[in-house]
Amino acid sequence: MNQPQDHAEVPRKFSRREAMLGLFSLAALASVSQGCSTKSKALRAYFHKHFKELPPDELKEVLAIWEERYQRAYGKPVAVHATPPLAGAKFGYALDLSRCIGCRRCVYGCVEENNPSRDPQVHWITVLEMDKDKGIDLHHSTPYYNPATVPQPDKFYFPVACQQCEHPPCVKVCPVKATWKEPDGIVVIDYDWCVGCRCCLTACPYGARHFNWKQPGLPAGDVNPETEYLGNRPRVKGVVEKCTFCVQRVRQGRYPKCVEVCPVGARKFGNLLDPRSEIRYILQNKRIFILKEELNTEPKFFFYFGL
Amino acid sequence: MTIAKGDKNVHVRPKGQPVSPALVSGALLLLGIGLALADRLPAPVINNVDTTALIAVSPPPFSKGIFPCSECHKPEDKVNRTPRIVAEHETVVFEHDKKNRWCLDCHDTQDRDQLRLASGALLDFRESFKLCGQCHGTQLRDWTAGEHGKRTGSWSGQKQYLLCVNCHNPHSPRFKPLKPLPPPQRPEPSK
């Protein structure tokens, strides 16, 4: 294999991603003669590395580009953070079904906090109404109940959102690794990485994942400007979203929004690793259960009847 | 609590921000002290909140213009101790074991600005949970642990309790029904 001296170095292999980046950059350069720098920056952001492999400076750039886009879209500053998970924290949630009255304050508190589309409507929390006669029976439950007042005497209410599984089936099926479980136990989605295949929607046994079939309708006035890259930043058409235990709040030491708005105190949140937390008290003193235990998803969302 | 008092330096660092060597060595030293004192896994400290801080309690929800009671009830007043419905307090609907209880089972006869425990000890309105706990012991136990009632504030730091009476009207404690917020829209039928 005698190669001439000037061809001696091993030809560099291009990954498909890099090849695409090159092609698109050329196309962008060709089509746009003015304002190249911003365009190529946007392209670089579009073709950035996987979130877990992003060096800090590139991550900063990606966050800045999203902040710029949101500023343009909503006409007000929207902060996009990427707060790392806290060491020594693993989050758990408990819900007292005997106290929940089905008022849906949590559903709309969540909407206010997490920037989901208002039209078409996306709710991360579904409150199911069930018959006391039948017990917990998902097949005969309804989310569409609407009496004048709640609770109705013969009914009980069962709120369901993401169960933050220890073995999340949604993560297992994602073909592009756009969703994963963080060290603090929260299952997150990188909306930049999601290709919208909706495998996770079908894999989730709890109906907790929601797809943006249309461009999310989010009025500028309703935007919560404190956002997290892997959490409540406004989404685009064609990506999946779900509850993150309010990652933007809990990593700052605050309670999730639904815990704060619940008028009956049925919702409990805390650090499973802290023996003094209220969540540990509940696990040790109440008869708890998890939803669809037989699937071995190991939710970190516990239900109980406290009264 | 397992974290040493001096642990104020332990805080969340935004990704990408450089850490000074002094801060690292300081944090390591403090961590060392913390671990030495700790008998269990240390809970995270966020935003420099001291997790050993006392619990803040919101004030009792007095009806407007009713407190202090001593504006009308003077200590030297003669008191009719017969259980009855008191017409002067027309806003009070009494539905709290009304067969067996009435005003003076909880309110002190002489000092109306205080409550009265079964032991005869007087109690500030801000500590009314002790009075409730005389009968509702399991609820008091769960409330103290943060299970009964709502907690706000910080899961890792200072937590705020509500008093029993912030949610339960002491004269009519059953939680009142609420109007539910609108149901979700049904998905569009396929065409």
Q: What is the pLDDT of residues A21-68, one digit of tens each?
A: 777 776 666 555 444 455 566 677 678 899 999 999 999 999 999 999
For residue A79, give the amino acid letter: A
Decide: A290 and A303 in contact? Cβ < 8 Å.
yes
Query: Shortest CB distance from A59 goes to which of B16, B152, B184?
Result: B16
ipTM of this predicted structure: 0.84
Residue B124 burial (CB count, 10 A) = 11
User: A91 vs chain B: nearest CA distance in angstroms?
Assistant: 10
Cβ neighbour number for residue A98 with a 10 Å cutoff: 11
CB spacing of A86 vs B46 below 8 angstroms: yes
Closest listed residue to residue B183, CA positions, set A262, A150, A265, A234: A150
Taking an 8 Å cut-off on Cβ atoms, the answer to whether A252 and B12 are in contact is: yes
pLDDT category at A117 given cuts 50, 70, 90 is: very high
Cβ-based contacts of A268 with chain B (< 8 Å) = 146-147, 151
Record: contact A150-B156, CB cut-off 8 A: no
Q: How far is B55 from chain A (nearest CA, A)?
A: 14
Instruction: Please tell me which residue of chain B has the smallest CA distance to A127.
Output: B183
Task: Choose, out of A274, A288, A300, A307, the residue to mutate when testing the contact with B (most B CBs < 10 Å).
Answer: A274
Q: What is the pTM of this model?
A: 0.80
Residue of A nearest to B156 (CA): A253
pLDDT value of position B34: 43
Residue A120 with chain B: CB contacts under 8 Å: 185
pLDDT of residue B3: 37
Give yes or no for a cis peptide into A4 (omega within 30° of 0). Answer: no
In the prediction, which pLDDT does B20 show?
54
**Which of A53, A58, A81, A86 to probe the B interface (max B CBs under 10 A)?**
A86
Query: pLDDT, tens digit, for every residue of A254-276?
Result: 999 999 999 999 999 999 999 88
Distance of CA A18 to CAs A22, A26, A40, A178, A194, Å?
6, 12, 14, 19, 19
Give residue-wise pLDDT tens across range B9-24. Answer: 334 444 444 545 554 5
A277/B43 touch (CB, cutoff 8 Å), yes or no: yes
Would you state the pLDDT for residue B188? 77
B186–chain A nearest CA distance, Å = 8
Given a contact cutoff of 8 angstroms between Cβ atoms, the answer to whether A187 and A297 are in contact is no
Using an 8 Å CB-CB cutoff, list chain B residues near A281.
Answer: 145-147
Q: Is the pLDDT of residue A121 over 60?
A: yes
Over residues A124-141, the mean pLDDT reads 96
Q: Which residue has the higher pLDDT, A202 or A43?
A: A202
If you measure CA to CA, which chain B residue comes closest to A57?
B16
Contact yes or no for A278 and B16 at CB 8 A: no
Q: What is the phi/psi pair of residue A77, to 5°?
A: -70, 130
- DSSP characters for chain A? ----GGG-SPPPPPPHHHHHHHHHHHHHHHH--SSHHHHHHHHHHHTPPPGGG--HHHHHHHHHHHHHHHHHHHSS--EEE-PPPPTT--EEEEEETTT-----HHHHHHHHHH---TTTT--S-EEEEEETTT-S-GGG-BS----SSB--TTEEEEEE-----SS-HHHHH-TT--EEE-TTS-EEE-TTT-----HHHHH-TT---EE--S-----GGG--SEEETTTTSPP-TT-EE---S-HHHHTTTBPPHHHHH-TT--EEEEETT-TTSHHHHHHHHS-EE-TTGGG----SEEEE---
Of all residues in chain A, the percent with pLDDT exceeding 90 is: 83
Residue A268's beta-bridge partner residues? A94
How many Å lie between the alpha carbon of A76 and the closest alpha carbon of chain B?
23
Judge: A144–B183 Cβ closer than 8 Å, yes or no: yes
Q: Which of A268, A194, A205, A180 is nearest to A235 (CA)?
A: A194
**Per residue of chain B (191 residues), what is the pLDDT tens digit?**
333 333 433 344 444 445 455 545 555 444 444 444 444 444 444 444 444 445 656 778 888 888 888 888 888 888 888 888 888 888 888 999 989 999 999 999 989 999 999 999 999 998 899 999 999 999 999 998 889 998 888 898 888 888 899 999 999 999 999 999 999 999 877 66
Q: Is B105 left (phi over 0), alpha (psi -120 to 50) or beta?
A: alpha
Nearest beta carbon to residue A103 from set B15, B181, B186: B181
- Least CA distance to B17: which residue of chain A? A56
- Residue A14, Cβ density class (10 Å: 0-12 exposed, 13-18 middle, ≥19 buried): exposed
Cβ atoms of A255 and A138 within 8 Å: the answer is: no
- Which of B55, B143, B150 should we substitute to test contact with A (largest number of A Cβ atoms within 10 Å)? B150
Residue A2 pLDDT: 47
Is the predicted pLDDT of residue A228 greater than 50, yes or no?
Answer: yes
For chain A, the average pLDDT equals: 91
What is the reported pLDDT for A37? 54
Q: Which of A219 and B27 is assigned the larger pLDDT?
A: A219
pLDDT for B13: 41
Mutate to test the interface with A, among B28, B48, B58, B156 (most CBs of A within 10 A): B156
Give the closest-approach CA distance of B96 to chain A in angstroms.
19
Say which residues have a Cβ less than 8 Å from residue A14's Cβ, sequence separation at least 6. A22
Distance from CA of A249 to the nearest CA of B (A): 10
The pLDDT-based confidence of A288 (bands split at 50, 70, 90) is very high
How much is the pLDDT for B44?
Answer: 47
**Contact between B148 and A306 using a beta-carbon 8 Å cutoff:** yes
What is the C-alpha to C-alpha distance for residues B55 and A174, in angstroms, rounded to an integer?
Answer: 44
Q: Is A278 exposed, middle or buried (0-12, 13-18, 19+ CB in 10 A)?
A: buried
